[in-house]
Chains A and B, each alone.
Chain A
Amino acid sequence: MESNKISVIVLSDKREQLQMAAMIASVGAVSGNEVLVFLSMNAMRYFVKGADEQAPCEGPVGKLMEQKNVPPFKILFEQAVTLGDAKIYPCSMAMDVLGVEHGGLEDYIGEPMGLTMFLDECKGGQVWSF
């Protein structure tokens, strides 16, 4: 089975962007690819333990997703880790700005990562940004 490295940068707090990022991460990971997810900026707050805020929609498809049984993006990110061995890293800068410690994030989120390491990690593979 051909394997590739896929890096997914997740910045947006919008439902459609988060959903597509989670779909690429989960399907990519369970298809034998090495998947690295980098969480930063406005996306980070959804991954704080206990966060129940709903991501706002950008358009009509996002609203339809709310009404239908589309797998929630947080579940897909978790499945990317549990079923496909993806690695999800929180941006150390965003954590500092938000005042969040690593233990305050969902259990499937890895250790904080800075840009120097991330840029090194994603070399030679596909990079997707949302």
Chain B
Amino acid sequence: MAEKKIVDARGSFCPGPLMELIAAIKMVEIGDEIEVLSTDKGSAAEIPQWLKKVGHEHLGSREEAGVWHVDIRRTK
């Protein structure tokens, strides 16, 4: 498995972080992990919903100093 990829979408508003994540998913291998950094609260909620809909794995989310960290694994 490759090193975890970081998608730094801080400062971007919805749906910017989601679209950046989707572009990143296309670039990694199945099984690889991605961490999205977002300062947009709406996106932090939207991304797990999108993952559930399309079937990638949501490994967890946490907020640190106003930045949401959303961890994802590409599953297909």
A residues near B (Cβ < 8 Å) are: 1-2, 23, 26-27, 30-32, 65, 68-71, 76, 79, 83-84
Count of interface residues, chain B, beta-carbon cutoff 8 Å:
15
- A-B contacts counted at CB < 8 A amount to 43
Q: Which residue of the partner chain, among A23, A26, A31, contacts B53 with CB atoms under 8 Å? A: A31
Chain B residues packing against A (C-beta within 8 Å):
11-16, 18-19, 22-23, 26, 50, 53-55
CA distance A38 to B18 in the complex (A): 24
- Name the contact of B15 in the complex, choosing from A26, A32, A69 (C-beta under 8 A): A26
**B19 to A, closest residue via Cβ:** A79
Chain A residues closer than 8 Å to B12, beta-carbon distance: 69, 71
Q: Are B53 and A83 in contact (CB under 8 A)?
A: no
Query: Helix, strand, loop or mixed for chain A's interface?
Result: loop
A74 to chain B, nearest CB (A): 13
Kindly list chain A residues whose C-beta atoms are within 8 Å of the C-beta of B55. 1
Q: Which residue of B lies closest to A27 (CB)?
A: B15
* A71 with B53: CB separation less than 8 A: no
| A126 shortest CB reach to chain B, Å | 16
Contact B16 A83 (CB under 8 A): no
